[in-house]
Chains A and B, each alone.
Chain A
Amino acid sequence: MMEQATTSSRYILEVAGMTKHFNVGGSFGKSRKVVQAVSDVSFRIREGTTLGIVGESGCGKSTTARLIMGLIGMDCGDLLFNDRAIGRSAREMKAFRRQVQMVFQDSSASLNPRMTIEASIMFGPMVHGEDRAEARRNAHHLLERVGLDPARFAGRYPHELSGGQRQRVNIARALALKPKVVIFDESVSALDKSVEAQVLNLLIDLKREMNLTYIFISHDLNVVRYISDHVMVMYLGKVVEHGPSEALFANPAHPYTRALLASMPSLDPEKRTLSAPIAGDPPSPIDPPQACRFHPRCALARPSCLAINPALFDAGPEHVAACHRSDPKSPYWTEGEAQ
């Protein structure tokens, strides 16, 4: 398979202790509330690999992406790119931004309706100082790469394209700046299955050709498993598990990951799911549960889970999870078992 060569490559991006809380409410005499969108998130990605991020709606996936992109500021935490801390200076930020690009879910909202797709793709590089002829040459090359014949498509406007075609334009636009890292936030979720498959094949080819590093956010666990080398599972703003894709899907270490994987619909009508792995909805990230945020829905929870925040433990090579009751070395491992 494709990953062997990359498992020992260096880390291109490192995030440490990243935290972002949003203040909401506070008007009309209501008390101010804090959304703990991202809490103390740390991870690192090796160059040339794909990190998948999964977790339920509101768990902080997009906020994590926007923090890395610098679209919003962190409350605290560090971001390292190629072993260098990304500070707050405008010049450093501009250089970094060029190297990290993002493709969003909504393919139409991110394209200017008044610009031809060629102009949209040329815009970024020209802002960064590329001359027009060079930018056009690159744009045509990229359109070809993403499967849109420049002779037919370069002069079209976004509304003249299908959703799948627009998403290809967005990918070309992100790649036009020759980034090192591309973040895909639900970028294929709105596409039909047959078109999604085309775009995934394209992403895998481009990654190999350009030695790109991907962060791939999706709620489709099958797609994440398919495309990722490593997977990070978030729950209510925290990382609950992170590990090599195959190991995590084969041996999930955290009770939430197990429930999430067991909730995937069976593709075989003769082997249907018999009972729901967990009940209830995820709680709100406003006033999230204390200590282990998963405890109210967790079948294994014990008093210590409500009192002590579980730290990440080693669940295998490059594989960590945060759960007292799944860590044989935890002092709380067998708590309550005797009764």
Chain B
Amino acid sequence: MSAFTAREPLLSVRDLTVGFKTDRGPITALDRISFDLGRGEVLGLIGESGSGKSVTMRALLRILPQKRTTISGSILMEGRDVLALKRRELASYRGNDVAMIFQEPSLAFDPVFTVGRQIAETVVRHKQCSWDAAYARALEMLELVRIPSAKSRLDNYPHEMSGGMRQRAMIALALACSPKLLLADEPTTALDATVQIQVILLLRELQKELGMATIFVTHDVGVAAEISDRVAVMYAGRIVEMGSAADVLKSPAHPYARGLLSSTIHGAMAGERVEAIPGMPPDLANMPSGCAFSPRCAMAMPECRNVIPAPASVGAGRSAACIRVGSVAA
């Protein structure tokens, strides 16, 4: 169902590594992340708090704080080296090529300007068109995200909108310059259930209509299932499993991914005991040697502590980073 074609991927990430200097010493927040993303494809990024999902997104948008950050590896967008972009090129990259939506619309909107003006301003900045044309585009965008009586909503300040409507307006802002890649960092997490599903369906429709690739970060397996073509599971800064959404979510291969799925409460479980993963996620300043999951893993063997397992193929279009996967029947 994904728009995978024989053409080159839209985005190609190789060995992306991000380190931070922190008060407690250096940490590796992302450790050799590699993946490709096809045009129009949706990649769901799941994993627990602190596993590096947001850092991945911020690295792709090049908005990590320069001073305390070290980045290595490569990010190629349509073959262009994103990590080498200069200031000027970056400004056009953000907006025209890539745009981001967040959990909190207040990060995207300035409270002192109307929503219409802020969308129009982005359009003027990136497309060098007239303000009239930009406002027309803003109206078109608010209609596209199905905001009722869009015309009068152009003049609303962000606080004059309900939570769900602000989230739609932020999507309108992100899509105003027709980016090829949308980065969505938990955009529905703060919304109520009945509004969340509306926003997910809207994003799914727009993404298809506009042929836009999307990376969608969530810690909610259900949300990932609703929107993703492929899913990557992160643990302690590494991608531990990646494959089609159906493969990864219905028959996970990596022990962490299996644990995550079996500790996710779902409808059929009432009365059963939840299979919880013992222990806590690791401290990045004090990482276990070898496989980062080994201290919590029921399948761990002494070798697991010696080497960091590299992602290896475990079926068509599917990989897992675990030395025991493959040796043990799933």
Contact = CB atoms under 8 A, between A and B. Distances in A.
Interface of A: 1-2, 56-57, 162-165, 192-198, 200-201, 204, 219-223, 225-226, 245-246, 249, 259-260, 263-270, 272-273, 275-282
Interface in B259-282: 259-260, 263-267, 269-271, 273-278, 280-281
B197 A194 contact: no
Given A56-B193, A222-B266, A269-B228, 14 more contacts: A192-B281, A193-B219, A195-B276, A197-B275, A197-B277, A226-B270, A263-B197, A265-B220, A267-B221, A267-B264, A267-B266, A268-B246, A277-B197, A279-B198
B219 A273 contact: no
Contacts of B148: 280
A102 B103 CA distance: 28
Contacts of A57: 163, 192
B292 interface: no
Nearest to A272: B226
A276 B201 contact: yes
B267 A222 contact: yes
Contacts, number: 136
A200 to B, nearest CB: 6
Contact of A275 (B201, B250, B266, B269): B201
A61 to B, nearest CB: 12
B223 A219 contact: no
A272 B200 CA distance: 11
A268 B225 contact: yes
Nearest to A194: B277
B22 interface: no
A193 B48 contact: yes
Max chain A Cβ within 10 angstroms of own Cβ: one of B165, B201, B219: B201
Contact residues of A: prevailing secondary structure = loop
B149 interface: no
A321 B99 CA distance: 45
A245 B270 contact: yes
A324 to B, nearest CB: 21
B169 to A, nearest CB: 13
Contact of A226 (B162, B193, B196, B269): B269
B193 A201 contact: no
B194 interface: yes
A219 to B, nearest CB: 7
A219 B265 contact: no
A184 B166 CA distance: 30
A272 B225 contact: yes
Given A194-B277, A270-B246, A200 B265 contact: yes
Interface in B230-248: 244-246
Contacts of A223: 265
Nearest to B222: A265
A267 B263 contact: no
Contact of B48 (A192, A226, A275): A192
B230 to A, nearest CB: 10
A267 B225 contact: yes
5 contacts: A192-B49, A193-B48, A194-B281, A223-B265, A263-B196
B195 interface: yes
A269 B162 contact: no
B200 A265 contact: yes
A267 B195 CA distance: 18
A237 B33 CA distance: 47
Given A192-B49, A268-B250, A165 B198 contact: no
Nearest to A56: B192
Max chain B Cβ within 10 angstroms of own Cβ: one of A226, A245, A265, A266: A265
B249 interface: yes
Contacts of A162: 280
B95 interface: no
Contact of B263 (A193, A266, A269): A193
A125 to B, nearest CB: 28
A281 to B, nearest CB: 4
B246 A266 contact: no
Nearest to A228: B270
A264 B270 contact: no
A233 to B, nearest CB: 12
A278 B195 CA distance: 8
B218 to A, nearest CB: 10
Contact of A197 (B165, B223, B271, B276): B276
Contacts of B220: 265
B164 interface: yes
Contacts of B276: 194-195, 197-198, 200-201
A274 B264 CA distance: 23
Contacts of B270: 1, 225-226, 245-246
